[in-house]
A and B are shown apart, each in its own frame.
Chain A
Amino acid sequence: MIALLDYGAGNIRSVEKALRFVGAEVQRMASPDSLSGAHGVVLPGVGAFDDCINSMQRQELLGATRDWIRSGRPFLGICVGYQALFERSEEFNSCALGLGVFGGPVVRFQPTAGEPALKIPQIGWNQVELTSDKCPLFQGIPTGSYFYFVHSFFPKPEDASVVASYTQYGKPFASAVWKDNVYATQFHPEKSQANGLRLLKNFVDLAGR
């Protein structure tokens, strides 16, 4: 069973549908009580970093997620659920502390003087360049594949060895990370048609249905 952390993120239904589509048994979890029965945990997200962290804190999901990751069991973060793994965000007025699983800040794209100017947020399909062919999440997905992005911020991991893929927008940024059993993507696999479904299936396969 895959536990889908339900802290009020707007896109939870889409993530739930996509996980079910690839064969997972899914349960929404709004409190940490029943995490122990899960094979994998998915943290979805859309919107603001602080909203995500504060809601998780209120529902006692923050500590439970940290414990889950520490125990080495499979975890997938999506979009803001990826950013939440880092220490802090440079979003306007942000003061929440992230999970701190990875070192580094979450920063905003910087408009460039170049032609054409960089539009922010990045909205649309962009290519994911894999750093190796080893990452289990990307099995069967060739480097250069397109995924759907919609975001203004992205994490800058201190440790480059955790970066599973880079994507070019102005400059290259870390569009996915992988360390042990922790996976996270800035793009939305649940909205990325066949490539996204393959990625989710890979996660469900490695975690167990």
Chain B
Amino acid sequence: MLARRVIPCLDVHDGKVTRGVQFGRAEEGGLKSVGDPVELARRYNDQGADEMVFFDITASAHNRSSMIDVIERTADCCFMPLTVGGGIRTVEDMGLMLQAGADKVSINSSALANPQLIHSGASKYGSQCIVVSIDVKRGLDQRWEVFSAGGRKNTGRLAVEWAYEAVRLGAGEIVLNSIDADGTKAGFDLEITRRVSESVGVPVVASGGAGTLDHMADVLLIGCADAVLAASIFHYGTYTVRQVKEHLAKRGIPVRLV
């Protein structure tokens, strides 16, 4: 049986893993450094993480070359799936990350600005490589709106419609981030996760809000997510990946225990 995945996310800035609260931004100094990305990746690899996401939070040209270095060094010692996001704007950018050892690339604002990028990437590297990450915020009347530019700009698009469109264009996976829940440790937005997961035929990764073990189980069981992504609770050592998986198994969710 296919296991549900537990995915630590490493927000990388200037070669270090950082963590902000509610889309905190590097330039505002609202980030804490929590360690060396390759060292953290090794730890999560040993804990039995199913996949790892590296996210370039500043997406500058300088940061891109340091990200390539991080991916290469991680792929040298961690033989597991790696995803890279942040600052990927062209098919060439995708190629650089895949060559460095990434298995999937995740695009967000660049896909909103140019939806054809999804199609071009999927045509060249296959849908299984192309992840579309969507930042959503709950609005009025049960509408979830899509934001770009790290949560700064309301695109006027609705979450379910954009997810459906992204998949139609060739996205092989959707990562759904709740801006309201991100960094709060108050739980995932179960409702929008379930709505998106039930309206697209590809896997959906839930992100933003993991604080307790039951939050993770709830978004898989009630939110119908295929995977959970979290950062703070792993970086600060609140839980190990293994502890999360043992809890999920107790709640009857299929997981890979190693």
Contacts and interface: CB of A to CB of B under 8 A. Distances in A.
Nearest to A18: B79
B126 A125 contact: no
Contacts of A192: 79-80
Given A124-B2, A124-B203, A125-B3, A14 B258 contact: no
Nearest to A22: B79
Given A126-B1, A146-B3, A193-B45, A13 B128 contact: no
A44 interface: no
A27 interface: no
Interface string B111-140: 000000000000001111100000000000
B8 interface: no
Contact of B202 (A11, A121, A126, A197): A121
Contact of B2 (A13, A21, A126): A126
Interface stretch (A58-66, A68-76, A112-120, A156-164): A112-120
B176 interface: no
A108 B224 CA distance: 23
Interface residues of B, number: 36
A181 interface: no
Name the interface size band of chain A: 35 or more
Contacts, number: 101
Interface stretch (B11-19, B21-29, B97-105, B230-238): B97-105
B45 A124 contact: no
A11 B4 CA distance: 24
B76 interface: yes
A190 B198 CA distance: 32
Interface string B205-238: 0000000000000000000101100000000000
Interface of B is mostly: loop
A121 B103 contact: no
Interface string A30-58: 00000000000000001110000000000
A148 B80 contact: yes
B246 to A, nearest CB: 16
B256 interface: yes
Contacts of B189: none
A125 B128 contact: no
B99 A197 contact: no
A47 B79 contact: no
Contacts of A168: 1
B79 A46 contact: no
A1 interface: no
Interface of A is mostly: mixed
Contacts of A117: 198, 201
B46 to A, nearest CB: 9
B103 A124 contact: no
A146 B129 contact: no
B206 to A, nearest CB: 14
A152 B1 contact: no
Interface in A140-189: 146, 148-152, 168-169, 188
Contacts of A18: 79
A131 interface: no
Contacts of A48: 126
A148 B129 CA distance: 14
A11 B79 contact: no
A206 interface: no
Contacts of B50: 124-125
Contact of A126 (B3, B95, B198): B3
Given A48-B126, A169-B2, 20 more contacts: A10-B98, A14-B103, A17-B76, A46-B126, A47-B125, A120-B202, A121-B127, A121-B202, A123-B203, A124-B50, A124-B226, A124-B227, A125-B2, A125-B256, A146-B258, A152-B128, A191-B79, A191-B103, A193-B258, A194-B258
5 contacts: A124-B227, A125-B5, A126-B2, A191-B80, A193-B45
